Amino acid sequence: MSVTVIPCGVPIEWSLAARTIKDRPSKSLQWTSKKSMPEVWWRGSGTEQKMYTFKGNTVDSYTGHTASPASIYILKIKSKVQDSRVSVYLQEGDGVPGIFPEIPPDPRVHTVGVGMTSVTLSWKPSASILKLQKNSHNYHYCVLVNQKQNYKSLCTAQEDMKSEKKRAKKQKLTVWPDVSEWWRHEWDSFRKSGESTLLDNSDELQCACRGMESVCTVSELIPETLYYFDVFVVDTVNGTDSAYAGTFAQTHEEARQIATPLGEGELRWVAFQGTGRQGSQIFSFRPRGWQQSALLTLQSCTGQKVKVTVSNKEQILASEVVGEAVAQIWLQGKPVYQIFLEDMSPGQAVRGVSRPMVKMQASSAYHRQAVPALPTTLQIKSFNKLRTCNSVTLAWFGTEERSLYCMYRRKIKDGESTSRQQCLGPESRSETERVLCKYFQELNPRRAVTTATIGALEPGTAYLFDVYLMRRWGIPVKYHSKTVRTRKEC
């Protein structure tokens, strides 16, 4: 006979012993009707001989001759770690236990190909499947994939999956159970556990491949990740399975873009050709000086949002979504910074709609420990009472830092559009349009207002005025354009 014990992952101890029946049990013991006859015999007189012992978490079998004279066989199974489930199979007669699917002499699973998101496997076919008649589905392969370990049986994988589900459920919500409901649930699961050996365990698992082909391609994997692969032959009639020797493989890493160097103080215009990661741009910047600090300023020229992520090789240092407003990121303490720009526009590019464009500059000239202050508002105010036939008076907010402000003017014709990209700087303006440049500083932010009176204007004429906050360590900040018409009569 042969006895096979299959543990479900947890290490167990099991032993097989034979008790020879010598005498009938004593009548004085007064056994109740609930006791079975074998149990009565165990308690009776007779010699007990230990036949086999095993410790471990792998499938193991005892094969040998039956004891003589006739005996009761006692199988003791003990789990010292935690509650677990075990499957036990008994076969009378010689030979390999026929209840288990056959595994070929070479049980290895071979890795045929490894890609960035897929792995192809192959293995020698099982004789149980080769002997199958057409249209018979008594046996099939089940390929399991996970990131933890190789499994030696489907039962072990199944129990591990249940534990993961319970752990995830506890992390979400912990509730004290109703005692009566808990007992009913435990009793039902105890009753069903005896029937589980007649079920196909692979039905409860997500097989990456399932069928009778000895080749499998597992797809939708994560790049640069280690995966474990197990192949099982499943007997759907008897509810048993046999395991091949599992394997593991690491998917290839994603093809990384080459970072474009960004020079000190260089003004860079970045255009995007695609959406998401496909249209992303990567730059590298090396700050000057021993402090290894820099100020990164960015602005979207089209109004579409762009995500900027700054990192070094070890970690992400900053992440921000950039729009029309000037964004400032303070960098410190790293010899090299990777600047990753990603288009946040939804969907694919639409004909007639321009792709995002970003203006960017990085400078090591700014040595303070935080980003520089920006004006509380970028609006320009005109004073109607101070407006004359040949002059206008304008005011705007400054900052507590001493900075240079330059104003430009342009005559507007009737019906001419006054819209202008917010990120276009003074470099796009003609020198003849500049009317003044002045330094201004006010330590009290509430009183940081400066004014300017612009003369030599034509009566009854509309002018477009632009003010730029000039900074040698970042891109200029453009105020919102202001249109003012001089008086016709004074």
- pLDDT exceeds cutoff 60 at 178: no
Architecture of domain 260-363: Sandwich (2.60)
Looking from the CA of 405 toward its CB, the CA atoms found within 13 Å total 26
User: Which has more pLDDT, 352 or 372?
Assistant: 372
Question: What pLDDT is stored for residue 35 in this prediction?
Answer: 56
- pLDDT exceeds cutoff 60 at 194: no
Question: What pLDDT is stored for residue 61 in this prediction?
Answer: 87
Question: What pLDDT is stored for residue 286 in this prediction?
Answer: 92
Range picked from 56-70, 92-106, 213-227 for highest mean pLDDT: 213-227
Question: What pLDDT is stored for residue 34 in this prediction?
Answer: 59
Residue with tokens 């049986």: 153
Residue 277 is inside which H or E element, if any?
Answer: strand 276-285
Residue 129 is inside which H or E element, if any?
Answer: helix 127-130
Question: CA torsion 266→272→275→281, rounded to 10°?
Answer: -30
Question: What pLDDT is stored for residue 77 in this prediction?
Answer: 95
Residue 24 CA to residue 44 CA, distance in Å, equals 7
Closest of 449, 454, 461 to residue 392, by C-alpha: 454
Residue type, 156: T
- Cβ neighbours for 324, distance < 8 A, ≥ 6 positions apart: 299, 300, 303, 422, 423
Residue 37 is inside which H or E element, if any?
Answer: helix 37-43
What single DSSP character describes residue 480? P
Residue 78 is inside which H or E element, if any?
Answer: strand 71-79
Residue 172 is inside which H or E element, if any?
Answer: helix 154-172
Question: What pLDDT is stored for residue 174 in this prediction?
Answer: 42
| Mean pLDDT of the 184-207 span | 52
* 109-193+202-251 matches 380-485 in fold: yes
Residue 476 CA to residue 468 CA, distance in Å, equals 6
Question: What pLDDT is stored for residue 113 in this prediction?
Answer: 92
Beta bridge partners of 14: 54, 77
Residue 206 CA to residue 197 CA, distance in Å, equals 19
Looking from the CA of 337 toward its CB, the CA atoms found within 13 Å total 30
User: Which has more pLDDT, 239 or 200?
Assistant: 239
pLDDT tens, residue by residue, 285-342: 999 888 888 899 998 888 788 899 998 876 888 899 998 888 999 888 889 999 999 8
Residue 383 CA to residue 385 CA, distance in Å, equals 6
On average, the pLDDT of the chain sits at 82
Question: What pLDDT is stored for residue 204 in this prediction?
Answer: 65
pLDDT tens, residue by residue, 145-156: 999 999 888 888
Q: DSSP 3-state assignment of 72?
A: strand
- pLDDT exceeds cutoff 80 at 179: no
Whole-structure pTM value: 0.47
| Mean pLDDT of the 428-452 span | 91
Phi and psi at 269, nearest 5°, equal -100, 125
**What fold does the segment set 109-193+202-251 form as a domain?**
Immunoglobulin-like (2.60.40)
Question: What pLDDT is stored for residue 28 in this prediction?
Answer: 53
Q: Do 419 and 469 contact (CB within 8 A), yes or no?
A: no
Instruction: Give 380-485's CATH code, choosing from 1.10.3720.10, 2.60.40.10, 3.40.50.300, 1.10.10.10.
Output: 2.60.40.10
pLDDT tens, residue by residue, 449-459: 999 999 999 99
Q: Domain locations in the chain?
A: 2-22+40-91, 109-193+202-251, 260-363, 380-485
- pLDDT exceeds cutoff 70 at 274: no
**pLDDT bucket at 184, cuts 50 / 70 / 90:** very low
Do strands 306-311 and 337-343 pair parallel, antiparallel, or not at all (unpaired)?
Answer: antiparallel
Burial group, residue 331, by CB count within 10 angstroms (0-12, 13-18, 19+) = buried
Q: Do 337 and 310 contact (CB within 8 A), yes or no?
A: yes
- pLDDT exceeds cutoff 70 at 96: no
Q: Do 425 and 476 contact (CB within 8 A), yes or no?
A: yes
Closest of 328, 333, 221, 345 to residue 274, by C-alpha: 345
| Mean pLDDT of the 156-165 span | 82
Residue 49 CA to residue 67 CA, distance in Å, equals 9
Chain centroid offset of residue 281 CA = 21
